[in-house]
Homo-oligomer: A and B are copies of this chain.
Amino acid sequence: MTRNASNQHGGRRPGAGRKPGSGPYGEPTRPVRVPVSLVPTVRSWLTNVGRHRAQSFTRSPTVLPLPLYGSRIAAGFPSPADDHQEDSLDLNAHLVKHPAATFFVRVEGDSMTGAGIHHGDLLVVDRALEPKPGDIVVAVVDGELTVKRLEARDGRLWLMPENPDYPPLEIREGTEFLIWGVVAHAVRSF
């Protein structure tokens, strides 16, 4: 006992003690093994979501954020300006090989649904690609723009639909036919 007669502060308080649920999360915690590189992400999420318990459906958290830089880091933390990692993607760089020769076309109709091209899709068309049989091309036939698969049979060219409701289109002697480019990608929006 270090208390003297002139100092009687403190002392037993039956029932004193920190109450359960008084921590930042309102409940106890358990240690979970987290890969070193993801520790900051998990901590940050726990700080922002775990405490506020923002939820959109039932009691489950909506989203656990993916790391902006999730690559395996040998040592240290990534620099915020460090973007040269396989985990980041630029759509232009990824989808446009020849910028000067690329354009977009919106799909109308459903003649190519078998190829996963649907009405309303946005096509990325590359004029720099050499059209060859099997390619899906954007072409003008008798003044009409169309999207079909290019085929070569018996020395003739055909534009093949990928939907049985549409007939194959033969490119004949007097047909006005022009290929605009090769379809590289189709973008579907929801």
Identify the A interface with B (CB < 8 A): 21, 25-39, 41-43, 45-46, 49-50, 53-75, 77-78, 80-81, 83, 86-93, 95-96, 99-106, 108, 115-118, 121-122, 124, 127, 130-131, 135-136, 140, 143, 145, 152, 157, 171, 176-190
How distant is the Cα of A103 from the Cα of B122 in the complex, in angstroms?
A: 20
B38 touches A34 (CB 8 A): no
Please, which residue of chain B has its CB at the minimum distance from the CB of A28? B36
Known: A62-B131, A70-B49. A27 touches B32 (CB 8 A): no
B62 touches A93 (CB 8 A): yes
A36 and B30 in contact, given A91-B91, A103-B68, A178-B77 (Cβ under 8 angstroms): yes
CB < 8 Å neighbour of A62 from B61, B66, B171, B179: B179
A183 CB to nearest B CB, Å = 6
User: Per a CB cutoff under 8 Å, which of B31, B43, B117, B180 touches A63?
Assistant: B180
- With A49-B38, A190-B135 as contacts: A66 and B99 at CB distance below 8 Å: yes
The 6 closest A-B pairs by CB, nearest first: A31-B31, A29-B33, A25-B35, A91-B91, A58-B90, A68-B104
Partner of A32, one of B43, B60, B83, B184: B43
Distance A157 CA – B36 CA, assembled complex (angstroms): 34
B68:A59 contact, CB within 8 angstroms: yes
Nearest CB in chain B to that of A184: its residue: B190
Show 26 residue pairs from A and B whose CB-CB distance is below 8 angstroms, ordered by the A residue: A25-B35, A27-B36, A28-B36, A31-B33, A32-B32, A38-B49, A53-B70, A55-B87, A56-B70, A56-B87, A56-B89, A57-B89, A57-B131, A58-B93, A59-B68, A60-B177, A62-B93, A64-B92, A65-B127, A68-B100, A73-B145, A75-B143, A77-B180, A91-B91, A116-B116, A184-B190
